[in-house]
Structure 1
Amino acid sequence: MAETINDTNAASKGGYFTRTRAAVSLLFFVNGLMMGAWAPKIPVFAKALSLSEADLGVMLFVFGIGSLVMMPVAGMQIARFGSSVVVQAAALLFIPTVIGITLVSSVPAGVVAIFLFGGLGGAMDVAMNANAVEVERSMRRSIMSSCHAFWSLGGLVGSATGGFLIAHVGPMGHALLVAGLGVLLFLVARPMILADRPHPAERRERTRLPLSPLPWLIGIIALFSMIPEGAILDWGALYLGNELSASTALSGFAFAAFSLAMSVMRFAGDLVRDRLGAVLTLRLCTVASFVGLVIAGQAPNVTIALIGFGIAGIGISNMVPIAFSAGGNISGLAPGIGLSVVTSLGYSGILFAPSVIGFIAEYTSLSTVYTAVSLLNLVVLAMSGLARHADRVGEAAH
């Protein structure tokens, strides 16, 4: 505890990268690594259980349900015990689930394994975001965007190395290596994690979802920020290939252009937010997202569409981190409770919206979808004043 206090004091005096910040950044990287490692395992998982595309769609839906069920549970436990306790428990339970989804040999076992993978990954997600909020408060500066950049980096490492490892050491060898690296990084982070404790008032707070509309409104900001991300992730390649006649190789650059721009801007986002404030930063990002999606949706060729996706990535990059910071800094509400609402609503956009988009695209076009999705940014722009709660990171740590 003395180390935590000393680290906090050092942060207060202007230190930029403290031990507690390094710890929470590692936690984000580990969570992203596990999620990234899942992407190349999906075909292996489907083959092992003889799943059709429709069956796999149901399994992925179970993954999303697991996340949405466990996120509020994690938020309630954070309100009782603090984020440091919950993030450690969630990480230790989540990391082995990558082995669990590799071991399954029947559909019922697959349902349980993917529910736990999605659920415990979601629980860790809420807890590490809550811990990042506490580190922001202790440092009196923004770090949420760079934390999400580390998540993106972990996802990139996990997805980029997965296919190679599965081909050379097999699915189980891949799972053991990823889990082993995850445990190793967690053990490095563990002694540096900020040991936060709930306020006495927060301990008395009933462990239920809040009746106040504020966290739900901020959650809508997160939701409308993440729907475009899901739309580009799942439908960008098909849009370039089917509607703009891109080659198979070139069509893959849709999400690459988006994610590259988003990752770069997330590392820069904290400095921008500290200089401009959360409200103005959110407004500028929302305008960039709107413009980028309109350009992509109305693009006459692949090059213009890629430019549009890149501009959208620049905008979306810091919209979600700002929403998460705001949700975790609502006055009079335990950070875990507010964050569980914001993350649950936000991730429901990236988990479930793509399937709805597919249904709509069948009757219209993906060009129309991207143009229509851009309008969600106008709602975020109208609600952008709520981002002021994210600026509470500048207040004294509690």
Structure 2
Amino acid sequence: MNASTAKLIAIRGRWALAAIFLANGFLTGSWAPQIPVFLTRLEISKFTLGLLILLFGVGAVVAMTWCGHLISRHGSRTVLRWFALCGSLGLMVVALAPDVPLAAVAMIIFGGSIGGMDVAMNANAVVVERRLSRAVMSSSHGFWSLGGFAGGGLGGFAIQHYGHLVHAAAVTAFAFAVIAVAVRHLLAEDRPQAAEHHKFALPANPLVYLIGLMALLAMISEGAVLDWAALYLRQELGADLAVAGLAYAGFSGVMAVTRFFGDGIRNRFGAVTTLRASALVAAVGMLVAGLAPSPWLAIAAFAFCGFGIANMVPIIFSAGGNQEGMSSGTGMSVVTTIGYCGILVAPSAIGFVAEHSSFGPIFITMSGLLIIVLLMAGLAHRAEFAPAPAE
């Protein structure tokens, strides 16, 4: 294979991966406007809703825990293909659930497929970066946010005018079509993954766990907007369903635009400096959202928060996937698993607090967590991108 053909294949793999990120974001963003309907359709309390979202996190974390092992054995391309095709059906399974027990099972399935897909696609992004000798993680996450923006923005309108089942069916059809085409062009690793993880074991390097803690704090805040911003606007600030869906849409839309510039920003100012500035901006936006007296100010504040959070998770994930002494799949599995523990723990805790007070103090607390990420940002120095050495 000559150099031009190899480069063409790598570029095709990069855009195929971008399509996978977009589909994952579209599925996740489409879940956000389904949440108020889910609450009223099953006639459950906010605390019970939090427990059901907790099961989404359980499914995601269980899948993520084993995903690094699967990637070490089979490669990120193979693992991503299967999780992505299964994940495209997840929202439809949840929308069809007629009662709480079946909804619980559906949430575990949805969470597991999306979680495994998340680890595998981020590990494959590290493969693409090494093949192209340039950073693509932030722009890949930009496509995820673009999908989230489209899913959140269109979802409220579609549900309000056509119902939640029609909406879920349309989302499923679109995601499956995109994924079915994209998986044919994904890149495979150049050589077998590190033999240390042909059997399941945890890495000994403590730094990867601290990076995972940063991911957890960032993703708690991101998950709080995904799972609760629509209810916050609808129940406490008086927004209708279509406007309430704009909270996560604005958050994801600004993240998408910012992430498309994120690789250039990271290369120019450095990963650590970019992470510190991003955490500060995100903390300010979350604080204003928690204090907002009107839905439109809250939407603007969530959008500003998205501007800050945009490059936090890509930088943290890139640092996790480039740790010394372990494969990219193993490092990514640890960091994403710990990060998604924020989605595992936070929803039920937020639901419990909201049941006894309000959502405003919750978002103010999220601002404090983002300040902690700012203080830990120096640990992400492995995200300073450098091409892999020649063999």
Give the TM-score taking structure 2 as reference length: 0.84
Q: 1:61 to 1:293 in 2, by over 3 A?
A: closer
Instruction: Determine which of 21, 34, 48 is the counterpart of 2:27.
Output: 34
Unaligned runs of at least 5 residues, structure 1: 12-16
Match status 1:267 vs 2:297: no
Q: Does the 8 Å contact 1:20/1:192 carry over to 2?
A: yes
Distance in 2 between the 1:288 and 1:363 partners?
Answer: 29
Distance 1:120 1:303, change over 3 A: closer
Partner residue of 2:239? 248
Percentage of identical aligned residues? 44
Q: Distance in 2 between matches of 1:161 and 1:209?
A: 41
Corresponding letter in the other structure for 1:19:
R
CA distance in 2: counterparts of 1:232 and 1:282, whole angstroms:
20
Query: Among 53, 61, 66, which residue is 2:54 paired with?
Result: 61
Offset from partner CA, 1:231-261 (integer Å, 9 cap, x none): 3444556667888xx5525776654543333
1:215–1:342 Cα contact (<8 Å) kept: yes
1:184 equivalent to 2:177? Answer yes
1:346 paired residue number: 339
User: Residue 108 of structure 2 corresponds to which residue in structure 1?
Assistant: 115
The offset of 1:79, in angstroms, is 1.4
The TM-score, its normalising length taken from structure 1, stands at: 0.83
Does the residue aligned with 1:206 lie in a helix, a strand or coil?
Answer: coil
Q: Which residue of 1 aligns with 2:330?
A: 337
Q: Deviations over 1:149-194 (max 9, x none)?
A: 2112222333444455567776555444433322321232123211
1:279 maps to 2:269: no
| Aligned equivalents of 2:173, 2:299: Cα separation in 1 | 37
The one of 62, 70, 79 aligned to 1:77: 70
Corresponding residue SS for 1:19:
helix
Query: Quick one: which amino acid aligns to residue 323 of structure 1?
Result: I
Check conservation: 1:140, 1:397, Cα contact below 8 A.
Answer: no
Of the three residues 354, 366, 381, the one matched with 1:373 is 366
Residue in 2 that maps onto 1:201: 194
Q: Equivalents in 1 of 2:297, 2:98: separation in Å?
A: 45
Q: What is the CA–CA distance in structure 1 between the aligned matches of 2:86 and 2:300, rounded to whole Å?
A: 40
Q: Are the counterparts in 2 of residues 258 and 309 from structure 1 also a CA contact under 8 Å?
A: yes
2:331 is the counterpart of 1:324: no
Matched letter for residue 366 of structure 2: V
One-letter identity of the residue aligned with 1:330? Q
1:290 is matched with which residue: 279, 283, 308?
Answer: 283
CA, structure 1 residues 287+320, in 2 after alignment: closer, same or farther (shift >3 Å)? same
TM-superposed CA distance for 1:288, in Å, is 1.8
| Alignment-derived partner of residue 14 in structure 1 | none
Task: Tell me the matched-pair count.
Answer: 389
Q: Distance in 2 between matches of 1:44 and 1:368?
A: 24
Look up the SS of the partner of 1:195 in the other structure. coil
**Per-residue CA distance 1:18-61 (angstroms, 9 max, x = gap):** 21110110001111222233344446656776655554433222
Report the Cα distance in structure 2 between the residues aligned to 1:203 and 1:119, rounded to whole angstroms: 25
Structure 1 partner of 2:206: 213
| 1:158 aligned counterpart, secondary structure | helix
- 1:20 corresponds to: 13
Could you tell me how far apart the structure 1 residues matched to 2:83 and 2:180 are? 14
Deviation of 1:374 (Å): 2.5
Residues 325 and 390 in structure 1, CA contact (< 8 A), matched pair in contact too: yes
- The one-letter code sitting in structure 2 at the alignment partner of 1:248 is A
Aligned-partner residue type, residue 183 of structure 1:
F
**1:127 corresponds to which letter in structure 2?**
A
User: In the alignment, is the contact (CA less than 8 A) between 2:145 and 2:253 conserved in 1?
Assistant: no
Please give the root-mean-square deviation of Cα atoms over the aligned residues, in Å.
Answer: 3.4
Equivalent residue for 2:380?
387
Secondary structure in structure 2 of the residue aligned to 1:142: coil
CA 1:108–1:313 in 2, change beyond 3 Å: closer, same or farther? closer
**Structure 1's 300 and 178: CA in aligned 2 closer, same or farther, altered over 3 A?**
closer
Matched to 1:384, the amino acid is A
Q: 1:213 to 1:293 in 2, by over 3 A?
A: same
Output the CA distance in 2 between the equivalents of 1:159 and 1:298: 23
